[in-house]
Amino acid sequence: MARSDPHSCADLDQGMVEHIDFDLDVSFDRREVAGSVSLRLREPAGGPLDLDTRNLRIGDCRGENGAEIPFALGDPDPILGSTLRLDLPPGTRRIEIDFRTTEGSTALDWLAPEQTAGGRLPYLYTQCQPHHARSVFPCQDTPRVRYTFSARITVPEGFTAVMAAAAAGDEPAGGGRRVFRFEMPQPVPSYLTAFAIGEIAGKDVSDRVRIYAEPAVLDRAVWEFAGVDRMIRVAEGLFGPYEWERYDMLVMPFSFPYGGMENPRLTFLTPTLLAGDRSLVNVVAHELAHSWTGNLVTNASMEDFWINEGFTVWAERRILEALEGSEYAALHAAIGRIALDEAFERFGADSPYTRLKTPLAGVDPDEVYSEVPYEKGFLFVTLLERTVGRERWDAVIRRYMDRFRFTSITSEDLLAFLEEELPGLADSVDARRWVYEPGLPENAPAFASPRLERVRWLVKAWQEGSRPGPEDVSGWAAEEWQLFLKWLPREIAEEDCRLLDERFSLTASGNYEILVAWLTLAVRSGYRPVLERVRQVLTTVGRQKYLRPLYQALLARPELRPLAEEIFAAMRTKYHTLSRVAIEGLFEKTRK
Ligand code: BES
Ligand code: ZN
């Protein structure tokens, strides 16, 4: 089989890791995680074993009886990192490796106290998807490999460690330190390994859901996410039993670069979801849905990322539909369609990155991250569902979960499964075109609903010169506002900006989706009264989804470029590396 994942050096013929014991010690003074991993292989192996690493310092490697294992660390590749090649004596099943992380650990975000809500203690969290786990510990960093694990994480007394695993207790470790223990009984791929350390408190909202957050935001978080247990029950009704026992959530500090990350048993969430009105819980529905689509049935590599995200967006919207009705779900589909069209614009509709199966050899998956796998994937799954009818499709989805649970699959595996289950379906919808060709096929499903039509109508009226009044928008959910703002022309007159803001207080919105859609439009329109609020957002929020359009809008206006430069100069070391690199790219692209 040799190497099956373009983003990993792992050769599964050499052996496969099936269990890891982590022993990690976290130093905030040195900004370093030091310790060991003990890897157990499925079967005894001998000869070379290649592991992924990035910017790690490797100490000793030991085999079964403590005997040293010779190793060599290859030259670093900018995307893959360095191959750690071990030379195993025959019959080796257990390998212990000592290592330390460095400043170049791309999965680690070290925060100073002032970057936290409490402002008292520093904070550390991981973001391993897609190929960053290797910068925290040596591993076969491909989702083809799954392992169970145990972990000991030692931290300074006063800090709390949480992990995407079952908590197994904590006790003093001597010398002013405390050790937190965890067990992960379900096998997971490396990208789902996650922990966070800081001033963290927890509160139960049901017998299987606890919210973790900094004490300063915990109560708000508990209120915002109080409905999650109900969501889990709905999801179980749709996709089968929840396999991970607990569903806890961790509200992150502001620098967290994503909306959410589906770390098993412990979803990570951006604090921008705390809108105070539960209007952004679709992100929780999404991360929860990954408990089936993604964490149970996993993409084999980032080339098949849509197997994770396309199915999950579909599942997210099925949950939303069950909870809020199909009209509400249709609003989300329409918002998704706007994002998809923007992605096509960014890449060009012929780009290979608009295929569902994307060729990624030599490509950094973070650089081509886009809405395509999400929204084109969603449309494709919805097309399949609509073509066979919901009842049959739901039964097929249950069998899909059953067949592939705790495994990793490719687009080809999926197509073969469909052919077995529903012969002829794939051909009848031109599935190969959807999966292997760029752009959006004409048979993409469309969404209609009175609520959608109403927003469309108001946008049309706008173009004909009429402006909405309070009665036009009464009863609008956040989604209608997003659609309205995104469907308006890319630039509008300054007096229209003023009118919208005076009538609807958009600059004061506590819903970041509305706020950022509004600020982006206002900045593109050169409406200066929003600039202070833009500065405030760009200096507090780290979610790339919000940073990118705002910087892009500023950079598109020569007179606002200095403001973008000034803010970025102050923030570059505070943003997550991923966000920093993405924004540097925007500056680069727009440099005259
Ligand atoms: N797994 C993703 C986040 C991710 C993707 C991290 C690729 C690193 C690499 C997560 O499930 C996700 O899709 N988050 C979205 C939520 C949205 C689609 C509701 C986000 O962060 O915007
Ligand atoms: Zn996702």
Q: What letter does residue 303 receive in the DSSP assignment?
A: G
Strands 82-101 and 32-53: antiparallel
* Tally of CB atoms within 10 A around 18: 16
For the CA atoms of 231, 232, 236, 239, the dihedral, rounded to the nearest 10 degrees, stands at: 70
Backbone angles phi, psi at 422, to 5 degrees: -135, 75
Quick one: which of 105, 141, 126 has its CA closest to 301? Answer: 141
218/233 Cα distance (integer angstroms): 24
Q: Is residue 491 lining ligand 1, measured as CB closer than 6 Å?
A: no
592/589 Cα distance (integer angstroms): 8
Give pLDDT, residue 349: 86
Residue to substitute in 231, 258, 304 for testing ligand 1 pocket (most ligand atoms within 8 angstroms of CB): 258
Query: Residue 81: beta bridge partners?
Result: 77
User: Of ligand 1's atoms, which has the minimum distance to the CA of residue 262?
Assistant: 11
Q: Is residue 224 lining ligand 1, measured as CB closer than 6 Å?
A: no
591/526 Cα distance (integer angstroms): 19
pTM of the complete model beyond 0.85: yes
Tokens for 268, please give them.
């990570």
Q: How far apart are the first and last CA of the chain?
A: 48
130/144 Cα distance (integer angstroms): 13
Tokens for 3, please give them.
């190497």
Radius of gyration of the chain (CA): 24
Quick one: which of 562, 567, 565 has its CA closest to 537? Answer: 567
Decide: residue 157, CB within 10 A, 0-12 exposed, 13-18 middle, 19+ buried.
Answer: exposed
Ligand 1 center to 81 CA (angstroms): 23
Ligand 2 center to 313 CA (angstroms): 7
Give pLDDT, residue 1: 52
212 is catalytic: no
Q: What is the pLDDT along the chain (592 residues), one digit of tens a residue?
A: 567 899 999 999 999 999 999 999 999 999 999 999 999 999 999 999 999 999 999 999 999 889 999 999 999 999 999 999 999 999 999 999 999 999 999 999 999 999 999 999 999 999 999 999 999 999 999 999 999 999 999 999 999 999 999 999 999 999 999 999 999 999 999 999 999 999 999 999 999 999 999 999 999 999 999 999 999 999 999 999 999 999 999 999 999 999 999 999 999 999 999 999 999 999 999 999 999 999 999 999 999 999 999 999 999 999 999 999 999 999 999 999 999 999 999 999 899 999 999 999 999 999 999 999 999 999 999 999 999 999 999 999 999 999 999 999 999 999 999 999 999 999 999 999 999 999 999 999 999 999 999 999 999 999 999 999 999 999 999 999 999 999 999 999 999 999 999 999 999 999 999 999 999 999 999 999 999 999 999 999 999 999 999 999 999 999 999 999 999 999 999 999 999 999 999 999 998 6
Half-sphere exposure of residue 91, counting CA atoms within 13 Å on the CB side? 3
Cβ-contact 357, 475 below 8 angstroms: no
> How many angstroms from the chain centroid is the CA of residue 539?
21
Indicate which residue's Cα is closest to atom 3 of ligand 1.
Answer: 261
For the CA atoms of 438, 440, 442, 443, the dihedral, rounded to the nearest 10 degrees, stands at: 110
User: Of ligand 1's atoms, which has the minimum distance to the CA of residue 316?
Assistant: 19
287 is catalytic: yes
